[in-house]
Amino acid sequence: MRRYAALAPMVVLALPAFGQERTIELLLKHWKTSAEFTKAVADLMPAESYDFQPNAEEMGFGALMIHIADANNRNIALVAGVQNPLPKVDKTDKATAMKYLDASFEFALGTIAKLTREDLDRMAGPEGRQMSGVERIWAYFTHTAHHRGQAEVYLRVKNIKPPPYRF
């Protein structure tokens, strides 16, 4: 029994690390699914319709894909405390948008995998809009889902059936 009692402090000290690993594992699982689903939605829109916008107030489809990527790049870099490695893209054609979206999700997934407990807990962002790293990662996962849903409506307006929902 004493042998096990001596191990107790080590187990207690290791618990936060297990929690961190599980948090990162869950974030990666959902971000990977989101990346695959978002790219599938983006790929369904024909190249000649990447400038399509249902009305003047909405972004064009390609601009919407670039917007998703830009927001992810900026916010994942902020959480990790690194410079955004992907320069902003001005073109919104399908080839450019798909490549940029792919690079953005690759950056997000690779960066999330390397985060520490300190990164997840650190508050960052502009005054009045600060969030912990884990909150910001989840907020921009939700941001992607919001705009992906918007993109699915664009597809339906063009009589294109979106891919089946993935979770």
Write the CB contacts of 69 (distance below 8 Å, at least 6 apart in sequence). Answer: 86, 89, 97, 100, 101, 103, 104, 105
Rounded Cα distance, 151 and 96, in Å: 17
pLDDT one-digit tens code per residue, 58-99: 999 999 999 999 999 999 999 999 999 999 999 999 999 999
Token pair in block for residue 71: 């927001």
The predicted pLDDT at position 20 comes to 59
Q: Would the pLDDT of 162 be above 60?
A: yes
State the CATH class of domain 22-157.
mainly alpha
pLDDT one-digit tens code per residue, 110-159: 999 999 999 999 999 889 999 999 999 999 999 999 999 999 999 999 99
Which H/E stretch holds residue 131? strand 131-132
Tell me the whole-structure pTM to 2 decimals: 0.86
